[in-house]
């Protein structure tokens, strides 16, 4: 088992009232899973993803990731944990505009203190695998949305995470580009990467092995 | 990793070119100002340190009060040097320098005299003691014989065209023949001897051999042995009064003992001052060369620090403001595994880079500004390019400044929360904007402080120039060194007076501008005790003096050359009345003398009282002064008609050359001489105005950047307001007024501080202005106007933008 959420509650206080963002979420994710989270706007999909990605906290409940109880971990430990095992893919790609494709790919490796030669090999490998060798010296603004997201996925994968969290990865893409990214995800999943994606699209959700529906912070 | 930081730093700086420009330029200006000030301060602090064993050399000063006269002298009695050297084993050497003032010099075969200003007698071991090597001749023996002289290299070249002139002769004042025995390298610019060019052997100065403790004419320098301490000298100096001075004084004042001497409030105190302190801490009645004050060093240091501080604040302000644009980057980096440490290092790298670039620009700016700064500050500072020390300081400074300027933005940005900053993160700006506002307030507080200071300095200067100084200084030409005309001086005076464009001519020993002159003790007939002495200036004038300088008599009459008795008459100034204890009318007929110990004293009858006039700087009070109708050879004052000065001066010069062929014709206008008295204030004024402009410029760069940022941040708000019907002026008013509030707060903070500080400065002047509320209103208005201009450009630009565009991009 990769991760487990038990009775997760998250709320904010707004105007003296407690507004629940997540209500009693229970979820087990095994290695090799491919989960699609669906639900209308404001239903808590992104919040749930952020909680699982340890970018956001929660108010009540338990969260175990690879046998470690995340809710008791110190901030720093938690950061090392997600850096090690989780890769993020964002709707608006979030590539660094000032860096080239190659440099964007290299960045997570820098933070993980890989040696220069290793980094070069890993980046080259990834460029090869995603067929973007020819674009390695271009800046994000010179790429199409689909290509940018391709780089985004490549960047998320480069440090060999166990889990990929994707927040509407195709939200800004047209249907052809979406298709491509989804097939890529499917392929990765077959190779053993666990994927959890948030999506609005029924079609894309179908790529997942499991679909979770959220409504007003609750799983339905 | 570091390479990556540098890379992203370069690229993001390039991307935000406008912001980078503001930041670098502001910082460079501030640092250039700071650099100039640092060079100046270093220059000031290292005066006289180039002499061998400078730290072991001291000057012996004297404070003497005797018969109502107080002297704070840098010079000492002729025997002092020998006494210290003989009495104390700790004193390794002692030398004296006696300024001769100006001297006419010519080559033996020539008839053309040249005037040399800085000529001094010096003891034989003078060069040895100060470690000055001679280019020609022997330093140890050069000044042993009477009528030998050592010239500076430049002087030798001037007279002979070569420095190989040992054995050549020069004629001084048309009679004394001196043999050149040595050539010394031109004296260091940063030394108390910087203006001295000619040294004469002390052996030829008869007065230097006399055992007189009452006259102070010899600058006395002692060098201690390495193990000695200044305090041992101090003790001995306290004993000089008993051991030497009183025994000497009793010859002239029989019966005077220590008790009676001290009882009448008299004192004699000797001090030592380290050679290296003279330039900044000594302000005695006469100095070998004009000194600076530590106060100036402080003032400039503060201004320099202010400038750097302003620039730093600017940098922090702009960086934090623009950092919000980079919130996304922080978020991405954090999700990709960066921790706060990484981000801090990254942003510090960026600020370090900007600081370094700014430092390069600052060096360039400072280099090009140095000549102007030098002329402003009256210094000859050279850019120390060749000294490794200088570069080490520069690099260290840019590192420190980089850390300082980068630390807040780095701290501020690295704490962004990844999710929030990825979503847009404008909510993180709240804390930052408070800090930014505080910094803007601070900047304007400093700028307004400097504006007030500048205004006050200039107001005081204007006050000085416009003040009724008791004489008319306009259209008065002063022909100096009248003694060069010898016995033809009266002929010269007559001929000049006969010129149609000349109103009147007067020959006198002194003009009412500061110069080296001492007091003499005078006694009123009937109260001749020492304690009743009146310390007066004694000026020799002629009957045309009052008229030429337009001085007013408030009682009595002017001299009359036809009355023989007027040769023993005196006209006193108002300030003397207090000492005489009478009114102006009552003073007439009083008799005073300076011959207290003579059998047949010469008494002078007071025939007039002249209205007080300022003959020293306005920093000082007017002291008692007496005008005596006696022949003098100091200078000739010529009052001109208000027409064609050039022609008149030409005519006067012609007369001079006929009357005194071969003698130098030196002249100046009295008002120029007068203004020269306030050179220090004028310099301060110029320095203030320059640095004030710089500080305002820096503050404005910051404000401009913030306004631009603010307008950008509020694009959506502006768009919505416009769609809802707000006019351009309403929007620009809204955007501008927020900043003006901050500027106002800054003004309110700084005005009381400025008021206090400038009142302290004015205390130095005996005659000074009231600061007055107008200065503060003006300063505030200037600051506000500048701020409005700076901000409104951005505000109007933002207000004019098309709302459809701005809303679409949101």
Mean pLDDT value of segment B378-394 = 83
pLDDT band at A116 (very low <50, low <70, confident <90, very high): confident
Distance from the Cα of A121 to chain B's closest Cα (Å) equals 17
B801 or B277, which is more confident? Answer: B277
Rounded CA-CA distance B117/B481 in Å is 11
A97: buried, middle or exposed (CB in 10 Å: 19+, 13-18, 0-12)? middle
- Judge contact between A13 and A205, C-beta under 8 A: no
Rounded CA-CA distance A109/A93 in Å is 18
Segment B469-484, tens digit of pLDDT: 888 888 899 988 888 8
DSSP state letter for B471: S
Name the one residue in this structure whose structure tokens are 């060194």: B481
Contact B422 A90 (CB under 8 A): yes
Structure tokens at B181: 């025995």
**Residue A79 forms contact with B (CB below 8 Å):** yes
Rounded CA-CA distance B290/B279 in Å is 8
CA distances from B239 to A164, B12, B82, B87, B282 (A): 94, 74, 15, 11, 23
Contact A55 B335 (CB under 8 A): yes
Segment B615-646, tens digit of pLDDT: 887 777 888 999 999 988 888 999 988 777 88
Mean pLDDT value of segment B124-138 = 91
Q: Does the pLDDT value for residue B268 go beyond 70?
A: yes
Residue in chain B closest to A54 (alpha carbons) equals: B335
Segment A20-43, tens digit of pLDDT: 999 999 999 999 999 999 999 888
DSSP state letter for B125: T
Contact A55 B328 (CB under 8 A): no
- Residue B430: predicted pLDDT: 54
Give the residue among A51, A130, A43 at the shortest CA–CA distance from A86: A51
Structure tokens at B515: 């110069």
- The answer, as to whether pTM is greater than 0.90, is no
Name the one residue in this structure whose structure tokens are 């009359």: B560
In chain B, residues with a C-beta closer than 8 Å to the C-beta of A111 are 333, 336-339, 342
Hey, CA dihedral for B322, B326, B327, B333, is it positive or negative? negative
Q: pLDDT exceeding 90 applies to what percent of chain B?
A: 24
In chain A, residues with a C-beta closer than 8 Å to the C-beta of B8 are 96, 98-99
- Residue B766: predicted pLDDT: 81
- Judge contact between B353 and B9, C-beta under 8 A: yes
Segment B534-592, tens digit of pLDDT: 888 889 999 999 999 999 999 899 999 888 888 889 999 998 988 888 888 888 988 98
Which of B4, B15, B418 is facing A55, going by the closest CB pair? B418
How many other CB atoms are there within 10 angstroms of residue B578's CB atom? 10
Structure tokens at A69: 């109880």
- Residue B810: predicted pLDDT: 39
Residues of B with CB under 8 A from a CB of A: 1, 4, 7-8, 11-12, 15, 328-329, 331-333, 335-339, 342, 418-419, 422
- Judge contact between B356 and B398, C-beta under 8 A: yes
CA atoms within 13 A on the CB side of B130: 27
- Residue B150: predicted pLDDT: 94
Alpha helices in B102-222 (DSSP H): 126-129, 153-160
Contact A94 B419 (CB under 8 A): no
Q: Does the pLDDT value for residue A107 go beyond 70?
A: yes
Domain ranges, ordered by start, for chain A? 3-219
- Judge contact between B637 and B673, C-beta under 8 A: no
- Residue A197: predicted pLDDT: 94
- Residue B8: predicted pLDDT: 79
Average pLDDT of chain B to the nearest whole number: 85
**Residue A97 forms contact with B (CB below 8 Å):** yes
Q: Does the pLDDT value for residue B428 go beyond 50?
A: no
Order across the sheet with A17-29: list the strands. A17-29, A3-14, A60-65, A68-69
Segment B667-680, tens digit of pLDDT: 889 888 888 777 77
pLDDT band at B218 (very low <50, low <70, confident <90, very high): very high
Rounded CA-CA distance A116/B506 in Å is 90
- Residue B83: predicted pLDDT: 92
Direct distance between the N- and C-terminal alpha carbons of chain B, in angstroms, rounded to an integer: 34
- Judge contact between A48 and A29, C-beta under 8 A: no
- Judge contact between B221 and B57, C-beta under 8 A: yes
- Residue A207: predicted pLDDT: 92
- Residue B466: predicted pLDDT: 80
B661: buried, middle or exposed (CB in 10 Å: 19+, 13-18, 0-12)? exposed
CA distances from B177 to B19, B108, B112, B434 (A): 72, 8, 15, 79
How many other CB atoms are there within 10 angstroms of residue B167's CB atom? 10
Residue in chain A closest to B422 (alpha carbons) equals: A94
Which of B4, B8, B419 is facing A55, going by the closest CB pair? B419
Interface test with A, best of B337, B416, B425 (most A CBs within 10 A): B337
pLDDT band at B287 (very low <50, low <70, confident <90, very high): confident
Structure tokens at B274: 């380290």
Return the H-helix or E-strand segment holding A211.
strand A210-215
- Residue B296: predicted pLDDT: 81
Q: Does the pLDDT value for residue B717 go beyond 70?
A: yes
B67 or B404, which is more confident? Answer: B404
Q: pLDDT exceeding 70 applies to what percent of chain B?
A: 97
Structure tokens at B358: 């700014």
User: Of A12-16, B131-135, B355-359, B648-652, which range is least confident?
Assistant: A12-16
Interface test with A, best of B336, B339, B422, B423 (most A CBs within 10 A): B336
Interface test with B, best of A110, A114, A140, A165 (most B CBs within 10 A): A110
Rounded CA-CA distance B781/B344 in Å is 41
B173 or B254, which is more confident? Answer: B173
Q: Is 3.40.50.300 the CATH number for A3-219?
A: yes
Distance from the Cα of A101 to chain B's closest Cα (Å) equals 13
Average pLDDT of chain A to the nearest whole number: 89
Interface test with A, best of B335, B344, B347, B427 (most A CBs within 10 A): B335
| ipTM value for the complex | 0.79
- Residue A175: predicted pLDDT: 87
Segment A158-184, tens digit of pLDDT: 888 899 999 888 888 888 888 988 998
Q: Does the pLDDT value for residue B417 go beyond 60?
A: yes
In chain A, residues with a C-beta closer than 8 Å to the C-beta of B7 are 99, 103
Q: Does the pLDDT value for residue B415 go beyond 90?
A: no
Segment B472-517, tens digit of pLDDT: 888 899 988 888 888 888 889 999 988 888 899 999 988 888 776 7
DSSP state letter for B505: E
Contact B336 A155 (CB under 8 A): yes
Return the H-helix or E-strand segment holding B752.
helix B728-762
What are the residues whose beta carbons fall under 8 Å from the beta carbon of B263, sequence distance 6 or more? none
DSSP state letter for B601: P
pLDDT band at B431 (very low <50, low <70, confident <90, very high): low
What are the residues whose beta carbons fall under 8 Å from the beta carbon of B283, sequence distance 6 or more? B291, B293
Q: What share of chain A is helix, strand, coil (3-state, %, to 5)?
A: 40, 25, 35
Rounded CA-CA distance A25/A214 in Å is 10
Strands B534-541 and B625-629: parallel
Which of B7, B332, B337 is facing A94, going by the closest CB pair? B332
What are the residues whose beta carbons fall under 8 Å from the beta carbon of B704, sequence distance 6 or more? B22, B790, B791, B793, B794
- Residue B121: predicted pLDDT: 94
Hey, CA dihedral for B544, B546, B547, B553, is it positive or negative? negative
Q: Does the pLDDT value for residue A190 go beyond 50?
A: yes
Distance from the Cα of B418 to chain A's closest Cα (Å) equals 7
């Amino acid at each position: 088992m990769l991760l487990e959420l038990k009775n997760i509650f998250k709320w904010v206080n707004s105007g003296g009232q407690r507004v629940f963002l997540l209500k009693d979420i229970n979820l087990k994710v095994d290695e090799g899973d491919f989960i699609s989270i669906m639900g209308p706007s404001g239903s808590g999909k992104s919040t749930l993803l952020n909680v699982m990605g340890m970018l956001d906290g929660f108010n009540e409940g338990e969260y175990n990731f690879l046998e470690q109880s995340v809710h008791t971990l110190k901030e720093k430990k938690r950061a090392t944990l997600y850096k090690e095992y989780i890769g993020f893919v964002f709707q608006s790609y979030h590539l660094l505009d000032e860096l080239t494709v190659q440099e964007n790919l290299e960045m997570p490796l820098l933070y993980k203190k890989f040696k220069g030669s290793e980094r070069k090999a890993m980046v080259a490998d990834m460029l090869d695998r995603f067929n973007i060798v020819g674009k390695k010296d271009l800046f994000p603004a010179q790429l199409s949305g689909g290509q940018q997201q391709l780089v985004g996925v490549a960047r998320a994968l480069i440090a060999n995470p166990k889990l990929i969290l994707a927040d509407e990865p195709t939200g800004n893409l047209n249907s052809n580009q979406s298709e491509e990214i989804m097939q890529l995800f499917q392929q990765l999943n077959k190779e053993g990467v666990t994927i959890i994606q948030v999506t609005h699209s029924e079609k894309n959700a179908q790529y997942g092995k499991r679909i979770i529906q959220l409504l007003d912070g609750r799983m339905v | 990793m570091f390479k990556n930081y540098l890379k992203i730093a370069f690229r993001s700086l390039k991307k935000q070119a406008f912001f980078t420009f503001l930041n670098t330029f502001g910082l460079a200006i501030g640092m250039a100002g700071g650099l100039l000030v640092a060079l100046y301060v270093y220059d000031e602090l290292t005066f006289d340190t180039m002499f061998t064993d400078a730290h072991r050399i001291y000057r012996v000063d004297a404070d003497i009060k005797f018969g109502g006269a107080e002297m704070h002298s840098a010079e000492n009695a002729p025997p002092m040097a020998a006494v210290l050297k003989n009495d104390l084993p700790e004193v390794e050497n002692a030398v004296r320098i006696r300024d001769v003032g100006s001297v006419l010099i010519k080559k033996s075969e020539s008839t053309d005299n040249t005037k040399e200003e800085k000529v001094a007698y010096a003891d034989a071991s003078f060069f040895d003691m100060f470690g000055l090597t001679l280019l020609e001749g022997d330093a140890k023996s050069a000044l042993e014989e009477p009528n030998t002289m050592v010239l500076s290299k430049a002087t030798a070249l001037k007279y002979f065209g070569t420095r190989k002139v040992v054995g050549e002769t020069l004629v001084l004042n048309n009679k004394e023949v001196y043999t050149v025995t040595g050539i010394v390298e031109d004296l260091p610019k940063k030394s108390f001897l910087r203006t001295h060019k000619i040294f004469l052997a002390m052996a030829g100065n008869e007065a230097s051999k006399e055992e007189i403790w009452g006259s102070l004419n010899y600058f006395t320098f002692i060098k201690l042995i390495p193990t000695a301490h200044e305090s041992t000298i101090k003790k001995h100096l306290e004993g000089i009064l008993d051991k030497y001075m009183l025994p000497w004084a009793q010859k002239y004042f029989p019966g005077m003992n220590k008790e009676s001497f001290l009882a009448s409030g008299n004192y004699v105190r000797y001090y030592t001052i380290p050679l290296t302190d003279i330039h900044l801490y000594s302000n005695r009645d006469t100095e070998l060369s004009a000194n600076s004050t530590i106060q100036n060093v402080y003032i400039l240091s503060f201004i320099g620090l202010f400038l750097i501080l302003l620039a730093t604040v600017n940098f922090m302000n702009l960086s934090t403001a623009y950092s919000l644009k980079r919130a996304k980057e922080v978020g991405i980096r954090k999700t990709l595994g960066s921790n706060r440490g990484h981000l801090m290092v990254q942003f510090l790298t960026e600020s370090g880079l900007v600081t370094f670039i700014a430092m390069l620009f600052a060096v360039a700016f400072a280099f090009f500004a140095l000549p102007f700064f030098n002329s402003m500050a009256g210094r000859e500072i050279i850019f120390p390019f060749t000294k490794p020390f200088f570069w080490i300081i520069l690099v260290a400074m840019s590192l420190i400044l980089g850390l300082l300027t980068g630390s807040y933005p780095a701290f501020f940005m690295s704490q962004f929360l990844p999710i929030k900053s990825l979503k847009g993160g404008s909510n993180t700006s709240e804390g930052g904007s408070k800090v930014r506002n505080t910094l803007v307030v601070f900047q304007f507080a400093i700028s307004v402080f400097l504006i007030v200071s500048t205004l006050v300095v200039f107001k005081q200067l204007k006050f000085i120039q416009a003040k009724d100084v008791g004489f008319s200084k306009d259209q008065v030409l002063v022909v100096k060194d009248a003694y060069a005309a010898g016995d033809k001086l009266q002929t010269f005076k007559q001929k000049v007076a006969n010129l149609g464009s000349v109103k009147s001519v007067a020959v006198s020993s002194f003009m009412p501008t500061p110069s080296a002159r001492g007091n003499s003790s005078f006694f009123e007939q009937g109260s001749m005790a020492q304690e009743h002495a009146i310390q007066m200036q004694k000026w020799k004038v002629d009957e045309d003096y009052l008229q030429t300088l337009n001085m007013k008599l408030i009682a009595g009459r002017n001299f009359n050359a036809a009355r023989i008795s007027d040769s023993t008459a005196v006209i006193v100034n108002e300030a003397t009345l207090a000492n005489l204890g009478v009114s102006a009318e009552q003073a007439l007929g009083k008799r005073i003398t300076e011959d207290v110990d003579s059998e047949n004293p010469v008494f002078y009858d007071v025939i007039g009282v002249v209205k007080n006039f300022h003959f020293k700087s306005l920093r000082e009070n007017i002291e008692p002064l007496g005008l005596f109708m006696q022949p003098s050879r100091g200078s000739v004052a010529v009052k001109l008609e208000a027409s064609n000065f050039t022609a008149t001066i030409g005519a006067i010069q012609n007369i001079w050359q006929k009357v005194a062929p071969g003698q130098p014709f030196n002249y100046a206008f009295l008002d120029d001489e007068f203004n020269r008295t306030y050179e220090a204030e004028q310099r301060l004024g110029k320095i203030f105005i320059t640095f004030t402009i710089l500080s305002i410029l820096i503050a404005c760069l910051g404000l401009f950047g913030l306004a631009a940022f603010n307008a950008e941040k509020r694009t959506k708000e502006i768009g919505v307001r416009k769609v809802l019907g707000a006019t351009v002026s309403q929007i620009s008013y809204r955007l501008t007024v927020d900043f003006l509030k901050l500027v106002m707060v800054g003004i309110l903070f700084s005005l009381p501080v400025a008021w206090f500080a400038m009142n302290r400065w004015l205390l130095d002047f005996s005659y000074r202005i009231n600061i007055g509320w107008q200065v503060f209103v003006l300063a505030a208005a200037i600051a506000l106007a500048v701020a409005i201009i700076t901000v409104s450009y951005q505000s109007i630009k933002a207000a004019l933008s098309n709302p459809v565009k701005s809303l679409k991009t949101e």
